[in-house]
Amino acid sequence: MNTNTTAPIRHGGDLRAASQRYGRPLPDWLDLSTGINPDGYPVPPLPADAWQRLPEEDDGLAEAAARAYGAPLALPVAGSQAAIRALPALLPPGRVGIAALGYSEYAPAFAFAGHTVVPLDEATLHDPGLGGTLAALDHLVVVNPNNPTGRLLPPATLAAWHAALAARGGTLLLDEAFMDCLGHGSLAAQAHLPGLVVLRSLGKFYGLAGLRCGFVLAAPALLAALRERLGHWSVSGPARAVARLALQDSAWQAATRLRLAQAGARLGSVLCAAGLAPVGQPLFQWVPCQQAGALHVALARQGIWTRLFDAAGGCPPSLRLGLPPDRAQDWARLRQGLDVALADTGSTGHVDSLPPAAGAAD
Q: What domains does the chain contain, in order, with CATH numbers?
A: 15-40+252-345 (3.90.1150.10), 48-249 (3.40.640.10)
The mean pLDDT of 29-45, rounded to a whole number, is 97
Strands 318-322, 307-309: parallel, antiparallel or unpaired by DSSP?
Answer: antiparallel
pLDDT, tens digit (0-9, with 9 covering 90-100), for 255-298: 999 999 999 999 999 999 999 999 999 999 999 999 999 999 99
68, 46 Cβ separation under 8 angstroms = no
Q: d(Cα 350, Cα 102) in Å, to the nearest integer?
A: 22
Which of 220, 229, 156 is closest to 186 using CA atoms?
156
The amino acid sitting at 128 is: P
pLDDT at residue 356 in the model: 45
The amino acid sitting at 113 is: A
The mean pLDDT of 36-46, rounded to a whole number, is 97
pLDDT at residue 12 in the model: 76
pLDDT, tens digit (0-9, with 9 covering 90-100), for 121-136: 999 999 999 999 999 9
pLDDT at residue 347 in the model: 61
pLDDT, tens digit (0-9, with 9 covering 90-100), for 284-339: 999 999 999 999 999 999 999 999 999 999 999 999 999 999 999 999 999 999 99
Residue 141 φ then ψ, to 5° = -110, 125
Q: d(Cα 110, Cα 98) in Å, to the nearest integer?
A: 10
Q: d(Cα 141, Cα 152) in Å, to the nearest integer?
A: 14
pLDDT, tens digit (0-9, with 9 covering 90-100), for 44-103: 999 999 999 999 999 999 999 999 999 999 999 999 999 999 999 999 999 999 999 999
Give me the torsion for CA of 98, 15, 308, 147, rounded to 10°. 40
The mean pLDDT of 171-199, rounded to a whole number, is 97
pLDDT at residue 5 in the model: 44
Is the pLDDT at 348 greater than 90, yes or no?
Answer: no
Give me the torsion for CA of 321, 251, 143, 204, rounded to 10°. 40
Residue 353 confidence class, pLDDT cut points 50, 70, 90: very low
Detail the DSSP E strand segments found in the chain. 30-31, 75-77, 95-99, 116-120, 139-143, 171-175, 196-201, 214-217, 279-281, 284-288, 304-305, 307-309, 318-322
Is the pLDDT at 362 greater than 70, yes or no?
Answer: no
pTM of the model: 0.92
User: What do you get for the CA distance between the two ends of the chain, in Å?
Assistant: 30
Any residues with CB less than 8 A from the CB of 36 and at least 6 apart, and which?
13, 203, 204, 207, 209, 283, 322
Secondary structure class of 242 (helix, strand, coil): helix
Is the pLDDT at 37 greater than 70, yes or no?
Answer: yes
pLDDT at residue 10 in the model: 72
